Amino acid sequence: MADESGTRGGAGRLSGFFDRLDPDMCVVTAAAGGERAGCLVGFASQCSMEPLRFAVWLSKVNRTYRAARAAQFLAVHLLTRDQRELAELLGGETGDETDKFARLHWREGHGGSAVLTDTAAWFVGAVLHRIDGGDHVGFVLDPVEWGEGRDGPLLRLSDAAGIEAGHPVD
């Protein structure tokens, strides 16, 4: 359906809606086949209350997605606003050119997952479903391990403005 303010079509026509969203950002890490990858993610949300489920959406062009395709578990981390430098590393660099984990504090978590040790909160989730959503794939996760860390307001999309993605979408 369409009304006088818009029509079906490109996302540009929905900017009045999407430009108002300011979700919490998170970092997703994947470990599989002896390789680790991680990226900054803006598309993520709890998607079920009972059973508890969470979905993260990874761009098909980035290395984390390629690692996540083979992973049984993904780790999801919340950053605080004062962790912009960490967000820039994980969002603005590509693992195809940079060993991000050489510059991160992390430990092995459940199922061989890579858990960042200096974040506001984190969980490791078993991958239940993969859903093609266009240029991103959604990973529905069942939390199996979790923890909390540093205090402070969470990093939001508006706080990450200006971080140029390590891999452009197109």
Q: What are the average pLDDT values for consecutive 10-residue runs of the chain, which has 170 residues?
A: 50 78 94 94 96 97 94 98 94 81 94 96 98 96 97 93 68
Grouping H, G, I as helix, E, B as strand and the rest as coil, residue 89 is helix
Total residue count of the chain as it appears in this document: 170
pLDDT of residue 9: 56
pTM for the model: 0.88
At 166 the pLDDT is: 65
CA distance 3 to 97: 46
In whole angstroms, give the CA distance from residue 157 to residue 130: 24
Rounded Cα distance, 59 and 98, in Å = 18
Residue 74 bridge partners (DSSP) = 30, 125
Determine contact, residues 38/114, Cβ cutoff 8 Å: yes
The per-residue pLDDT for 96 is 79
Give the integer Cα–Cα distance in Å for 24 and 86.
Answer: 15
Model pLDDT, residue 8: 53
Position 87 scores a pLDDT of 93
- Looking at residue 3, its pLDDT comes to 47
